[in-house]
Copies of this chain bind each other. A is one copy, B any other.
Amino acid sequence: MKLTSKGRYAVMALADLARFDNINPVSLRDISLRQGISLDYLEQIFSKLRKKEIVQSVRGTQGGYILNKKAKEIKLTNIFDAVDEKVKTVQCKKDSKKGCNGKSTKCLTHNLWDELENHINNFFEKKSLEDLVKENTERRI
């Protein structure tokens, strides 16, 4: 089970964004340099974040992105959802009544994986961008 770069980068970039006030836009170029993430890749990621209204774009010179909500209201769930980083533990289709490998019933472990998925998603629902920024500024003091 591993976290993909896309998900990690999305959160890294937003954490970077969240450190600034929500007035002056931050350019992807700056984030790219500070966080060491490819600019082109960041653009893909922010395109998705914008469509899900997590960030707002400001075009033109001095443009960039700003958060579209308060950092407190942006949970990891929202971020991961926006960039299609999803937790997937079962093999079967979730809503179907069939099990994995085309079986007619759910397998012995199906319930376990469901529990696991919930366990992980709980974490993502609790954590907000604000938590992340706070933790970091505190550590710096």
Contact = CB atoms under 8 A, between A and B. Distances in A.
Nearest to A108: B15
A111 to B, nearest CB: 6
Interface residues of A, number: 41
A136 B108 contact: yes
Interface stretch (A1-9, A22-30, A55-63): A1-9
Interface in A101-126: 101-103, 107-109, 111-113, 115-116, 119-120, 123
Contacts of A123: 115-116, 119
Contact of A109 (B12, B101, B109, B113): B12
Contact of A1 (B3, B90, B107, B139): B3
State how many copies of this chain the complex holds. 2
A100 B8 CA distance: 11
A37 B101 contact: yes
A42 to B, nearest CB: 13
Contacts of A7: 1
A8 B112 CA distance: 10
A16 interface: yes
Contacts of A8: 89, 91, 100, 109, 113
